[in-house]
Structure 1
């Protein structure tokens, strides 16, 4: 149920609008909505409804309107929304969540916008706020002075938001948009000097100096003729700045004076004036290693984040990600803090609407079970996410092939340093390489905003506005965001926090070069396991004695699994289900290439399912190229051989190889030296042999 004051008075529930009756009944409702959750005396209602002397039966009339409103709201299901129209002696109280009133939502969005400090975020917030207006405020109420004054106050707030939108567009250099929206408002309010000053500056920045100066002289004449006053300092300041810039031969007013001072800048938006993995860390392979097959990563040692420092630079004991443990515990920060040490009282009005009362969000999945090693990658993440030299929100991208343990590494680091982010940890599976469609940014933003305490009714409908609201809410917080299983840079950008105390970790099978280019993301590569690390993982899963009795078979299993943690975990699951099997027996079974992919699957997860999700994201040309590469005898080839196998011309082949490398389906070991892993070859051959349909399924993507 929603209540509208910013236009015709109305109440809607679902897609239906309730019938409110005559003007006086609408006026009673409007007055109660203007003072929500506050008792309104009957005498105030009577004084507001009748401009002249009220009739003798005025009290009865008001009581009748209240009775009918109560019945109408009840018919619309008011109780389900927490709405009650109560009588308190000779006064009335409309009790309801204030976010159901459009004027309240408008005020909250405007309060969150920071046109000078964060203009890119302020623009969608202010547009969302102004989009709530459907005409002159309080349309349909009686024409008495109290309602005229209330409508005027709301209109003043709207114009202030228009001016703020103008300043935001101006700060972004979008002066044409600023001129358009300010022009329309200035025509309707020719004596509002702040609007005129903003319009003058916007026009001057677009090269229309004469139009800008004409607006000044026109407004000066109107002020003198209608009010008998001269222009104020803001209007004079804009005029003088333009004259000085012209005298200096510049085409712009230069650095505008602060909008908070006497001489505000202008700007606005509009047209032209006429005159946008896996679902948990544990399932993603859990164990990871750096250093590829060289064994450099030390996968066989327990990860404690050694050599890495907490994000805030203070000494702190890390949270261990031991097998089967719950999420990181401890009071990572007092509930209700705003990231600056200042508490926000629960239920306070006029705040950001973030709903900070209560515990900060802790959305991380469970720590990955049997996580070992990856010290190099954990230290690399710490280096990226603790870099305070830029004054920007740090961003790390953990990229690697399917099943290598990207999610596990990111989630492990997040648990180790959760205490460094006392305002919460957010996690989202972007489903970039999962079954079905990838997660749209609007869906993830809604989840984040709800987790941060934003009531559902106040979550913006557009992804752009929701993104701006998210950045505004977390601007001063110490918050960690983990975005798992991203498909593209475009999917990630709306989800990035902007505050310098926030940090973001993204995992993807793609390198996400776009984020590196536009957001200075720093990559943290993650490779397959060497023999020592792979054997350590098998030992952690099966018990060290079982691996120690046949170390040669353990090494062979690592090779047959291409050193992928996901494949090794699936192999360990096969051996766990068959306690009498020696490792050599499973190795013998895996040597049969026709069975290998099926054996390296475990219920809803497996390497075939993970690879399928990667291949499903390829174009038809790139999928055919991968299938051709799979016919290579030893998995090593150059561009010329790849072109011959695929029947493509050299340029088309090179472009395809570059895309497959970016997706980690092939690896460029050196210039024009490409390799394709055995498991990827087997999968691509199966797909080719079965017309693109493989029966080795499972739904987990093991990213």
Structure 2
């Protein structure tokens, strides 16, 4: 039987894990394991389990958890292993051989290792000790201060062992291995100045003085941004040693203490082992510094810079002006800031396609990788939390899962630190708000970010100098070209009038045009006029402009779902306008709202691109948005999308 504290709390009996139950029961076991063969007062257990005032029945709850733990251990054959969970008055005692606890075995192995005196023996001992870790210590316990303090103490012991292993490798002259050991810890603890100082010395010792200095400046920036402090004595001392040695042409071996590791750029760091990777000259990235973000310095664990872009959009046509605007915004290096562009427009206008197309066209300008995330701001479920996206980004950049910070703030700081000197492109698709985007911005001068959203994201423009790139509906020429690309030019050319009508009936939206093309592709004998005739029926248009899991009604529903009840009612009122053109006074009359309330609502609808402000106090609502909004809550749109009453074979003829 084995007990684990160095990761998720667990008890292994042979190859099977015993069921421990809820977090509080696991926490009781963890506290007893942290003090094995010692009586633990009931009051200490209660104080540790409840961060706030414990409930009146707290004693009974703890007694129940102890009773269930005793039964679970007995069922696993605890008696055979000399394990007993005993009650001593108002205290409990977990009696067991301490070598059954992974934290105890870890401590013994570390104590046996002598990195300087016997480094060849210390390396296997320390590797075995660190191999006992399966994740953050005490995972699965309650989030109270006593457990947080205990987990922190265990993590400090782990980092001490990491530093000792690096010293042992260094004493053996195995500087590459020492660098790999220090690398993971330095990436996961970017504010631990001792680790960074050791890494700086190692980089200098292996001839990479510029990279060592860049590590110093990156850490200094991070300390200033996150903590508002200057580098401490150890970090400054390492920096000054390197500068002095460079100025005098001093010996690098003398400039750094024994055991200082080599540049982590030359390694792929993998859980459970390290191996050399190609050097800087093999990447073709043009240099740069900083770990894990791409090129030689930061390959993902698969050995290549992350390429997370979706496949290029099929039959992408037009948008030359918008692609040019993106190029101007994202390649402008005169501002001294990380370029940021926001592609905005209504549902179905092709924002994602435009952003992804630009990203593929310019991928070579970002050799350290391209990251992509769907923020689900206008999706069926909850929007993506920044911590979730950062976890995926950090892992793609080579950070082991167990080393990804749990808090979004720490993960964001680590992300910015890793990519600060990289040439990296970040595409953040389908954003809900500026607040969702800000923690995901890289900030490095050589990084660029594209955000897409149905909202204007004015906050990013105000605080981060984002360059907005607006997408509008396609005109007859572009829309006809898109239909021709999907259906074949001959089929479109045979009826130019029907082609123009289809573009109009689709409001010039690429999503709707593609859905219409899908209907015609499935029926190669149909002429375009036949589908145009069917789409004139407003009761069926939204359903016909759907294709399996995609459609304009579904896209609009996601926009409307994000509205307040008042704004949704205003949108439905606007949909009753005969020609879709109105001013604030007319909108107020239709909605039954006062002028100020209506004006505010119109501004919010315009920000979401559900209406368009063509001129001062002149608003328009598209035909498809009108059709969707007229059907209360979009229920009819959902019904028609599902196929009820919209069988394509029943379409009327049209030539």
* TM-score, normalising length: structure 2: 0.62
For the pair 1:94 / 2:128, whether they are aligned, the reply is yes
In 2, Cα distance between equivalents of 1:624 and 1:543 = 42
Residue number among 526, 531, 535 corresponding to 1:590 in the alignment: 535
For the pair 1:561 / 2:506, whether they are aligned, the reply is yes
For the pair 1:670 / 2:615, whether they are aligned, the reply is yes
In 1, Cα distance between equivalents of 2:192 and 2:426 = 34
For the pair 1:508 / 2:453, whether they are aligned, the reply is yes
Is the contact made by 2:344 and 2:351 (CA closer than 8 Å) also made in structure 1? yes
How much has 1:373 moved relative to structure 2? 1.3
Residue number among 579, 582, 592 corresponding to 1:647 in the alignment: 592
RMSD (Å), alpha carbons: 4.7
In 2, Cα distance between equivalents of 1:345 and 1:506 = 23
How much has 1:335 moved relative to structure 2? 7.1
Residue number among 140, 143, 152 corresponding to 1:133 in the alignment: 152
How much has 1:94 moved relative to structure 2? 1.4
Is the contact made by 1:361 and 1:425 (CA closer than 8 Å) also made in structure 2? yes
Q: How does 1:48-447 map to 2 (within 5 A)?
A: 94=128, 96-97=130-131, 133-134=152-153, 171=224, 340-341=287-288, 358-447=303-392
Residue number among 601, 616, 623 corresponding to 2:561 in the alignment: 616
For the pair 1:575 / 2:520, whether they are aligned, the reply is yes
Residues 588 and 342 of structure 1, relative CA distance in 2, 3 Å threshold = same
Is the contact made by 1:396 and 1:505 (CA closer than 8 Å) also made in structure 2? yes
Residues 352 and 464 of structure 1, relative CA distance in 2, 3 Å threshold = farther
For the pair 1:491 / 2:450, whether they are aligned, the reply is no
1:535 equivalent in structure 2: 480
Residues 357 and 32 of structure 1, relative CA distance in 2, 3 Å threshold = farther
Is the contact made by 2:377 and 2:383 (CA closer than 8 Å) also made in structure 1? yes
Is the contact made by 2:109 and 2:129 (CA closer than 8 Å) also made in structure 1? no
How much has 1:36 moved relative to structure 2? 8.6
Is the contact made by 2:330 and 2:448 (CA closer than 8 Å) also made in structure 1? yes
1:631 equivalent in structure 2: 576
How much has 1:131 moved relative to structure 2? 9.7
Is the contact made by 1:486 and 1:506 (CA closer than 8 Å) also made in structure 2? yes
In 1, Cα distance between equivalents of 2:108 and 2:326 = 56
Is the contact made by 2:479 and 2:513 (CA closer than 8 Å) also made in structure 1? yes
How much has 1:631 moved relative to structure 2? 0.3
2:106 equivalent in structure 1: 29
In 2, Cα distance between equivalents of 1:37 and 1:545 = 80
Residues 564 and 261 of structure 1, relative CA distance in 2, 3 Å threshold = same
Q: SS of the counterpart of 1:562?
A: coil
Is the contact made by 1:430 and 1:483 (CA closer than 8 Å) also made in structure 2? yes
Is the contact made by 1:3 and 1:100 (CA closer than 8 Å) also made in structure 2? no
How much has 1:174 moved relative to structure 2? 7.5
How much has 1:578 moved relative to structure 2? 1.2
For the pair 1:11 / 2:6, whether they are aligned, the reply is yes
Residues 43 and 31 of structure 1, relative CA distance in 2, 3 Å threshold = farther
How much has 1:659 moved relative to structure 2? 0.4
Summarize deviations over 1:322-362 as a string: whole Å, max 9, x none: xxxxxxxxx9x98768872579799xxxx999756711000
1:118 equivalent in structure 2: none
In 1, Cα distance between equivalents of 2:581 and 2:341 = 31
* TM-score, normalising length: structure 1: 0.58
Is the contact made by 1:487 and 1:508 (CA closer than 8 Å) also made in structure 2? yes
Q: SS of the counterpart of 2:430?
A: strand
In 1, Cα distance between equivalents of 2:100 and 2:576 = 81
Gaps of 5+ in 2: 11-25, 37-95, 138-147, 169-184, 186-190, 198-215, 242-277, 644-655
Is the contact made by 1:337 and 1:343 (CA closer than 8 Å) also made in structure 2? no
Is the contact made by 1:566 and 1:607 (CA closer than 8 Å) also made in structure 2? yes
Is the contact made by 1:666 and 1:675 (CA closer than 8 Å) also made in structure 2? yes
Q: SS of the counterpart of 1:482?
A: strand
How much has 1:626 moved relative to structure 2? 0.3
Summarize deviations over 1:566-614 as a string: whole Å, max 9, x none: 0000000111111111111111100000010010000000000000000
Is the contact made by 1:629 and 1:635 (CA closer than 8 Å) also made in structure 2? yes
Residues 92 and 667 of structure 1, relative CA distance in 2, 3 Å threshold = closer
Summarize deviations over 1:181-229 as a string: whole Å, max 9, x none: x9xxxxxxxxxx979xxxxxxxxxxxxxxxxxxxxxxxxxxxxxxxxxx
Is the contact made by 1:3 and 1:102 (CA closer than 8 Å) also made in structure 2? no
Is the contact made by 2:553 and 2:637 (CA closer than 8 Å) also made in structure 1? no
Q: SS of the counterpart of 2:482?
A: helix
In 1, Cα distance between equivalents of 2:477 and 2:533 = 20
How much has 1:398 moved relative to structure 2? 0.2
Residues 500 and 137 of structure 1, relative CA distance in 2, 3 Å threshold = closer
Summarize deviations over 1:70-96 as a string: whole Å, max 9, x none: xxxxxxxxxxxxxxx98xxxx896175
Identify which of structures 1 and 2 has the higher relative contact order when contacts are C-alpha pairs closer than 8 Å and 6+ apart.
1
In 2, Cα distance between equivalents of 1:521 and 1:533 = 28
In 1, Cα distance between equivalents of 2:97 and 2:285 = 45
How many residue pairs get matched? 465
How much has 1:260 moved relative to structure 2? 6.2
In 1, Cα distance between equivalents of 2:283 and 2:149 = 30
Is the contact made by 1:482 and 1:504 (CA closer than 8 Å) also made in structure 2? yes
In 1, Cα distance between equivalents of 2:330 and 2:112 = 46
1:448 equivalent in structure 2: 393
In 2, Cα distance between equivalents of 1:167 and 1:414 = 32
Summarize deviations over 1:478-517 as a string: whole Å, max 9, x none: 0000000001001111111011000000000000000001
2:414 equivalent in structure 1: 469
1:695 equivalent in structure 2: 639
In 1, Cα distance between equivalents of 2:565 and 2:104 = 63
Residues 158 and 682 of structure 1, relative CA distance in 2, 3 Å threshold = closer
In 2, Cα distance between equivalents of 1:33 and 1:337 = 41
How much has 1:695 moved relative to structure 2? 1.7
Residues 635 and 102 of structure 1, relative CA distance in 2, 3 Å threshold = closer
For the pair 1:524 / 2:469, whether they are aligned, the reply is yes
In 2, Cα distance between equivalents of 1:356 and 1:41 = 32
Is the contact made by 2:290 and 2:298 (CA closer than 8 Å) also made in structure 1? no
Residue number among 486, 497, 519 corresponding to 1:552 in the alignment: 497
Residues 3 and 677 of structure 1, relative CA distance in 2, 3 Å threshold = farther
In 2, Cα distance between equivalents of 1:400 and 1:408 = 12
